[in-house]
Structures are given as C-alpha cells and as structure tokens.
Copies of this chain bind each other. A is one copy, B any other.
Amino acid sequence: MVIVLKPKTQREVINSLIKTIEKKGITVHETIGENYSILGLVGDTSQLNQEQFEAHDCVERAMRVQHPFKLANKLFHPEDTIIQVDDVKIGGGNKAIIAGPCSIESEEQLLTIAKAVKESGANILRGGAYKPRSSPYSFQGLGEEGLKLLKKAKELTGLPTITEAICLDTIEKVAEYADFIQIGARNMQNFALLKKAGQYNKPVVLKRGLSATMEEWLMSAEYIMAEGNHQVILCERGIRTFETYTRNTLDLSAVPVVKEMSHLPVIVDPSHAAGKWSMVEPLSKAAIAVGADGLMIEVHHEPECALSDGAQSLKPEKFNKLMKKLNAMAL
C-alpha cells in the first residue's frame, strides 16, 4: 500500500502515523518529495483498512498496490482453472456453449428448445425457473416446477444444466436440480447469497454486475471461493453506460483483462448485453475471437410469445447457423 501525505504535514504527525502502522507489523519506507511525501508499506497489507488511513487529517489518499483478492489471483495460482461437469470442460482452452430459453415456460417449450440446441452443438442447457424481474407485475418464473422440467430436459438430452439462484430460500433447490448455479448480475454483490453458493460442491457462474468494476467482480468470486468452493466461472454480460441504443455495453476487453488478473474461466453472454437478437451473432464471434472460454446464448422457438427477453432470443435456425460460423472460426 502507498500512502500519500498532504503537503506541509508536520514531522511529528508523520512520525505518529508511522508508529501506528508499524504496530501492525508493517515496515514503512518514507519518500520525501518537494510537495508530497509518500509512505510505502511492506508486509501483509491485506489486513489493512485503506479507509482508516484516509480518515487521518494528514493523509491525501491511500492506494493499494496489490489486488485485494487472493484465491482468485493469478499471481498466486498461475495455472488456468478448468471446471468439469460430466464430459463438459470449461477453461484452459475448453469452451462451453450454454444455450436455452430465458425462462422455462412449459414442458413442450423447454424440450423443443433443448433438443434443438443440442443438435446444433450446445453442450450446456440454460433455463430460468426463478426470474429476477424489474417489475413485480412481470412473470416471475415457474419455480420448482421449472426445475423439474430442467431435470427432465437433462434426462432427455444428456446436457448438463444451469439455472439461476435468486435468493437464500431457493438456492438449495437450484443446487439439487441443476449442475451449475447461476448468480445474476443484480445479485453480484448479494454477499449472503455468494457465501451460500460457496458452500455447495457445484460450479457457480457469476455474472458481472451492471456497474461492477473488474476488481469488484473478482472480489465477489473471492467470496464464493473463501467458503471453499473454487469452481467459479465469470460471465461478462454488458455494463451500463450512457449509450442506450444497445441495452448494455458488452465489455469484451474484460475477457483479456480478467485473464491477466485471474486463473478463473471467463464466458460471455451477448444476448443480455445487446438486448436485440440481430446483435447476438456478431458479438458471439467477437467474444470467441477475444478469447472467451464460452458463450451463454438465449434461444427460443417462438420469441414473440416468450414470457421474458423475447427481443434478444435467437430462433433455433439462427442459433444453428451461428454455431456453424463459430465452428468455422475453429471454436
């Protein structure tokens, strides 16, 4: 950690601050500049509270040099994490294609779509049973009934499944029926839910929050990992910016950046970012080209009747064409 002192701070004030820091077992190196002096702190600075330092009248600001996450940090775990469910591997060069409807609506709907995406080459089936909706008057999902259908779809297709856990009361059911637990963007800093997800022996797909920095995203992964579950997959799904033509701005730079900082796999959800099906193909190709470990794509055979996210869902034929193009890119 580096502490920048305010100009003209008196010697005794600096000495007193240094003593406070040294009491915590930290060594302090002082660099005296013409206007600003700085303190370089050496030792286990992860225990230090940056805000306490900034509360001192003499401190201009305190800056961390090292990322605050450890278990998710590539510095300490240089090897790529590979996550496996059944025969499907994600990370370390293995790519996941997760496809399916936004919401599970009926047995016929889910099975129709499941069969179609499997035939086109998807290797994981998605489908929401508990839906986080911005309006209390919108369809909230089929609940456990949906989870049962998801299980049936797996029996039929053999595809491992993923569905979202939206609260402490339902995550147990999600873990019981599905192979992957999804944590949605709006819950990325629902710390109680993250801790709970860390207590299952199931991979967790953690979506990036709409306004989460990459460091905050990795800190949320750290919450899950700190509970003992190291199977975390990060999912970029667009951030909120001033641009409103696309629903969110897909931040594809996040893929190589996060891969520099962490050993965890990173996948991309182009459907939610764009909010428009015509954007899904170009953004999927870009996501693969930028180095993502997989894609999560919404597919619906009757998007005009979908109970959620119809506008961004690909029809099965379009998904099939997309898969062919991705394969041609040597996916």
Q: Contact residues of A with B, CB < 8 Å?
A: 2, 4, 7, 29, 31-36, 38, 40, 42-43, 46-47, 49, 51-56, 63, 65-66, 68, 75, 132-138, 166-170, 186-187, 189-193, 195, 209-211, 213-216, 219-220, 222-223, 226, 239-246, 249-257, 260, 273-274, 276-279, 282-283, 285-291, 303-313, 329
Give Cα distance in the complex from A263 to B247, angstroms: 23
The residue on B at minimum CB distance from A290 is B286
- Whether A34 contacts B40 by the Cβ 8 Å rule is no
Contact B313 A191 (CB under 8 A): no
Q: Is the CB of B306 within 8 A of A278?
A: no
* Chain B proximity of A272: nearest CB distance (Å): 12
Interchain Cβ contacts under 8 Å between A and B, 14 examples: A31-B42, A33-B66, A35-B66, A52-B306, A54-B311, A68-B137, A136-B223, A166-B191, A167-B193, A239-B243, A252-B283, A253-B273, A253-B279, A282-B290
Contact B310 A49 (CB under 8 A): yes
Q: How far in angstroms is the closest Cβ of chain B from A54? A: 4
Chain B residues with Cβ below 8 Å from A223 are: 136
CA gap between A167 and B133 in the complex, in Å = 18
The smallest beta-carbon distance between A216 and chain B, in angstroms, is 6
CB <8 Å contact, A49 and B242: no
On whether the beta carbons of B242 and A242 are closer than 8 Å, the reply is yes
- Do A253 and B274 touch (CB < 8 A)? yes
If A54-B311, A166-B191 touch, whether A242 touches B211 (CB-CB below 8 Å) is yes
B239 touches A257 (CB 8 A): no
CB of A135, distance to nearest CB on chain B (Å) = 6
Are B249 and A239 interface neighbours, CB within 8 A?
yes
